[in-house]
Amino acid sequence: MNSFKIISLTHKLAPLELIGKLHLDENHQQDYLGGLKIRMELKELMFLSTCNRVEFVVNTDREIAPEFLSDLFYSINSRLTKEDLTALVEKTITYEGDSALTHLFEVSASLDSLVVGEREIITQVRKSYEFCNLLGLTGDTIRLAIKQTIETAKQVYTDTDIAKNPVSIVSLAYRQLRSLGIKNNARIIFVGAGETNANMAKYLKKHQYANFTVFNRTLENAEKLAKELNGKARELSHIKDFKEGFDVLISCTGAQGAVITNDIYASLIGDDTSKKVIIDLAIPADIDAKVIESNDVHYIDIESLKKQAADNLLKREGEIEACKAIINNKVEEFKQLFQERKIELAFGEIPKQIKYIKETALNEVFAKEMNSLDPQGKEVLDKVLSYMEKKYNALAIKTAKKVFLEEDL
């Protein structure tokens, strides 16, 4: 296990701009990683890159010294300055053996994530392995480690509440919509076409909502988002003239004051007396306080969502110890599996040798005696020898495992 190592650069120590200097998309991974494996004398290599981490999972007997790290990083990005290399080396953590395995399990179970409990990381780990395996960069050690990693993450997510309570603003807002009984045919207005509203809109579309109108100061941006939603686009300056009605209004602009005044709201609802849902995701608020005071609405604001997200995050963090207990057990389980696999590989030649001995005995040493047997006798003898061969192979490996594992204990 000592040759199993992880070189880790994450948001915990390094600024994202620095981490980004080592990012490689799949096309560049294809170009660089094969040569990197040879240059750095790595038996195996897996490269994991996300928006807030870069991890090199390797199998190597080489010591991971500062000079090794500088050479590794420069091989990834030859435009790095001396200052960049110094900063990267200082911010890098190296794990070996058991600690490397524990780190990999914690990363995949989202304990090391920017947002604890986000499941996306396990998919990223699996895809990174599959891609590196396709490139011929990985071998038996990383294969076994990733198999156990995925099993561990699944058990963590199943047996604990680490991912149970949502912490993203988008998912929390959606849950509140559903709790209010808003149907999939609801008429939804978006005010603003920035990242937050775009994420909210795509989330709603994913959950089968389909009636969207997007208002934005710049019509081009409204049209871009509306196209993704199969919706309609309007200039924000014309919102007062909108007479098609709505059930849900979601607003998130960068304005410094109220965007939806009481007059604009009155124009939007017209004679409609049904209770509307307003979700204000902007800071400062886009919805004038008079709108909330003067109208019968379900009002969901960013501050209440942020408080709920913080509460849920605390609940998730309260599950960390239970997650670590599962991980520790899985590390111990893997150590035994790894030893057994080493023994299997070490004794992999035994079946070939036994088969060779059997064939030599039949065809050379006892060839004369074999020729004196009738076909039926030869068949019976062959069956007996094949049976003994099979049983001996299994017994030899089983005995070896027992002896070696007892010695390790």
SS3 of 384, please? helix
Conformation bin of residue 387: beta by default, left when phi > 0, alpha when psi is -120 to 50: alpha
Same domain? 287 vs 381: no
CB-based burial label for 27 (10 Å; 0-12, 13-18, 19+): exposed
| Same domain flag for 178 and 93 | no
Which pLDDT score is estimated for 61?
95
How many domains does the structure of the chain reveal? Answer: 3
Would you say residue 227 lies in a domain?
A: yes
- Each of the 409 residues of the chain gets a pLDDT tens digit; together they read 789 999 999 999 999 999 999 998 888 898 899 999 999 999 999 999 988 899 999 999 999 999 999 999 999 999 999 999 999 999 999 999 999 999 999 999 999 988 888 888 999 999 999 999 999 999 999 999 999 999 999 999 999 999 888 888 888 999 999 999 999 999 999 999 999 999 999 999 999 999 999 999 999 999 999 999 999 999 999 999 999 999 999 999 989 889 999 999 999 999 999 999 999 999 889 999 999 999 999 999 999 999 999 999 899 889 999 999 999 999 999 998 888 777 676 666 677 788 888 888 888 888 888 888 888 988 888 888 888 888 877 776 676 666 555 555 4
Which of 121, 136, 165 is the last residue before a domain boundary?
165
My answer on whether 71 and 174 are in the same domain is no
- Cβ–Cβ < 8 Å for 202, 228: yes
Q: Which of 165, 182, 206 is the last residue of a domain?
A: 165
Counted residue by residue, the chain has a size of 409
Domain end residue (candidates: 124, 147, 165): 165
Residue 26 sits in the same domain as residue 158:
yes
pTM above threshold 0.75? no
Helix axes 195-206, 169-179, angle to 10 degrees: 50
**What local confidence, expressed as pLDDT, does residue 192 receive?**
96
- Tell me, yes or no, whether 104 lies in a domain: yes
CATH number at residue 142: 3.30.460.30
Instruction: Tell whether 284 and 201 lie within a shared domain.
Output: yes
Cis bond before residue 284 (omega within 30° of 0): yes
Indicate whether 238 and 293 sit together in one domain: yes
Domain CATH for 299: 3.40.50.720
| Domain contains 52 | yes
Same domain, 161 and 251: no
Tell me, yes or no, whether 328 lies in a domain: no
Same domain, 273 and 375: no
Q: Do 18 and 82 fall into the same domain?
A: yes
**Given this model, what pLDDT does residue 409 score?**
45
Question: What is the domain extent for residue 188?
Answer: 169-305
- Rounded Cα distance between 98 and 339, Å, is 13
* Shared domain check, 296 and 179: yes
158 shares its domain with 184: no
Instruction: Look at residue 94 and tell me if it is in a domain.
Output: yes
Question: What is the residue-wise DSSP string for 60-117?
Answer: -SS---HHHHHHHHHHH-TT--HHHHHHHHHH-EEEETHHHHHHHHHHHTTTTSSSTT
Tokens of residue 79, six digits: 């435009």
Q: In sequence order, what are the beta bridge partners of 249?
A: 189, 278
For residues 39 and 154, membership in a common domain is answered with yes
Distance CA 236, CA 219 (A): 8
Say if 403 falls within a structural domain.
no
Residue 31 lies in a domain: yes
Question: Is residue 272 one of the residues assigned to a domain?
Answer: yes
